Amino acid sequence: MQPVVLTRDQHGISRQQISDNALKVLYRLNKGGYEAYLVGGGVRDLLLGRQPKDFDVATNATPEQVKGLFSNCRLVGRRFRLAHVLFGRDVIEVATFRGHHHSVNTSKHVSSRSKEGMLLRDNVYGTIEEDAERRDFTVNALYYNIADFTVLGFAGGLADLEARRLDLIGDPETRYREDPVRMLRAVRFSAKLGLSISPRTEAPIRELAPLLTDIPPARLFEETLKLLLAGQGVETYRQLQHYGLFAPLFPEAFEVMGRGNNRYGRFIELALANTDERIAQEQRVTPAFLYAALLWGPVETRTQEFVNEGGLGYHDAFMLAADEVISRQVKSVAIPRRFSTVVRDIWQLQDRLTKRAGKRPFRLLEHPKFRAGYDFLLLRAELDPRLRELADWWTDFQQANPMERHPVGHHPADRQQQSRPARNSNDNEGSSRKRKRRRPRRKKES
């Protein structure tokens, strides 16, 4: 575990590329007499010429010692104890060098493993060499030293980065068993950074994929967002399917689409392509829309089954199906309630959007999630020609009836888009007429 050292003039990282907050933390630790490094993804991304998502710091100071240096510091995590230094909404994560588990007095509070070899506690501290060895991929075992601006690359990380190769440190099977989420990270980094997964790192994934069912649903929710809502959703989704990682995350969705190439699979890819495009245009995206798409197959299928076999009316069948699909899904990947209520709204709107008679369409325009429901219908219509007429009808109907709806449909960014036709349209007199006609009617009604 001797590192390759790049001196200041041998690499392209400059302090201007590092956030002020991260620099503050590094300097303060260093002045306090500790070693302080920018580590992992931050260094990797800078060397690749990309803007890092966040900056993480590694040090030989213990979490308590870090807390002693910063008043704006909180200690978090049990499985993996860390210091968070807070600057408003920006958080710099400071991790103490991790050591080997067998080397010291391993009390259960410091280190523990499950029967499957999963690390339940990882709070044994050590040296930078040991820390590097405990990181997941070689390209993540990179350290930028604030004391002399050198970059240290352990485990061949610098050469792998050069070769665009993603390779686990140590024995892949052991490392996946310690933390099955590393399988998801492999796919994520490969898709996001265009790295190819080395054969030995790739080999055990398919067989070990079911270990993901042991990971708490809340952690998988976070990981799933990083996988599918980071701009490379389509590519990531295909890789998840390829490695058998999609099934343990979304078992119901997997089941209805068999081997991943029927229409529900295509629907998911379409939704992800749509999301990727929004991200490329720097528009915000919400998990609810994506989850609505991921689970649409199971909901449609179950609804039909309840109608055919249970003799229920469509509405009741649908409500039952939606409940069932969500409550089964959250056993694998959590969906926080603030999102699952929107998921339901989007689904429910699909039926309501078919009712075009009388005043109903006008009322529907005011539904807070109308825009998301309509976007979802457009997506469905791309795969199902029978829905095109309906989708076009709603497109025209909105243009003819611009109004101040509750903002926020699919995404907060829709706010402007939604009201724009109303404000800009010179050629839209018909719409204002309709609007006037409508108001008295509604008054009578109430």
The catalytic site residues sit at: 54, 56, 136
Stated as kind and residue range, the H or E segment containing 39 is strand 36-39
| Alpha-carbon distances of 397 from 364, 411, 431, rounded to whole Å | 11, 21, 9
- What are the tokens at 429? 């007199």
Stretch that binds ligand ATP, among 144-152, 153-161, 179-187, 268-276 (CB under 6 A): 179-187
Residue 150 interacts with which of Mg ion, ligand ATP, none, CB < 5 to 8 Å by class: none
In whole angstroms, the minimum distance from the beta carbon of 215 to ligand ATP comes to 11
Handedness of CA 66, 68, 70, 76 (dihedral sign): positive
Helices marked H in 152-281 — which ranges?
157-163, 172-178, 181-193, 199-202, 205-208, 217-228, 233-242, 246-249, 251-256, 263-280
Closer CB to Mg ion, 54 or 173, in the complex: 54
Out of 18, 25, 36, 41, which residue is the one contacting ligand ATP (CB under 6 A)? 41
Out of 123, 138, 140, 275, which residue is the one contacting ligand ATP (CB under 6 A)? 140
Closer CB to ligand ATP, 139 or 391, in the complex: 139
Out of 3, 41, 233, 297, which residue is the one contacting Mg ion (CB under 5 A)? 41
As a whole number of angstroms, the distance between CA 197 and CA 320 comes to: 42
Nearest to 19 by CA among 57, 70, 73: 57
8 A C-beta contact, residue 187 and residue 239: yes
As a whole number of angstroms, the distance between CA 165 and CA 169 comes to: 12
As a whole number of angstroms, the distance between CA 412 and CA 123 comes to: 40
By CB under 5 A, is residue 63 in contact with Mg ion? Answer: no
As a whole number of angstroms, the distance between CA 390 and CA 210 comes to: 41
Closer CB to ligand ATP, 226 or 238, in the complex: 226
Kindly identify the residues of this chain, within the stretch 192-251, that bind ligand ATP according to CB under 6 A: 226
8 A C-beta contact, residue 176 and residue 137: no
By CB under 6 A, is residue 182 in contact with ligand ATP? Answer: yes
Residue 136 interacts with which of ligand ATP, Mg ion, none, CB < 5 to 8 Å by class: ligand ATP
| Alpha-carbon distances of 245 from 100, 135, 224, 269, 349, rounded to whole Å | 29, 21, 11, 16, 31
Residue 179 interacts with which of ligand ATP, Mg ion, none, CB < 5 to 8 Å by class: ligand ATP
Residue 135 interacts with which of Mg ion, ligand ATP, none, CB < 5 to 8 Å by class: ligand ATP
Stretch that binds ligand ATP, among 174-182, 293-301, 333-341, 346-354 (CB under 6 A): 174-182
8 A C-beta contact, residue 156 and residue 167: yes
Handedness of CA 236, 240, 245, 251 (dihedral sign): positive
Out of 56, 202, 269, 276, which residue is the one contacting ligand ATP (CB under 6 A)? 56
As a whole number of angstroms, the distance between CA 18 and CA 39 comes to: 12
Give the residue nearest to Mg ion (CB): 41
Closer CB to ligand ATP, 150 or 303, in the complex: 150
Give me the 116-135 binding string for ligand ATP, x by CB under 6 A, dash otherwise.
Answer: -------------------x
Residue 101 interacts with which of Mg ion, ligand ATP, none, CB < 5 to 8 Å by class: none
In sequence order, what are the beta bridge partners of 142?
A: 153
Stretch that binds ligand ATP, among 178-186, 285-293, 392-400, 421-429 (CB under 6 A): 178-186
Kindly identify the residues of this chain, within the stretch 174-203, that bind Mg ion according to CB under 5 A: none
In whole angstroms, the minimum distance from the beta carbon of 56 to Mg ion comes to 5
By CB under 6 A, is residue 136 in contact with ligand ATP? Answer: yes
Kindly identify the residues of this chain, within the stretch 81-120, that bind ligand ATP according to CB under 6 A: none
In the three-class reduction of DSSP (H, G, I as helix; E, B as strand; rest coil), residue 114 is classed as coil
As a whole number of angstroms, the distance between CA 287 and CA 221 comes to: 10
Give the residue nearest to ligand ATP (CB): 41
Residue 414 interacts with which of Mg ion, ligand ATP, none, CB < 5 to 8 Å by class: none
Binding positions for Mg ion, rule: CB under 5 A: 41, 54
Binding positions for ligand ATP, rule: CB under 6 A: 40-41, 53-54, 56, 135-136, 140, 179, 181-182, 226
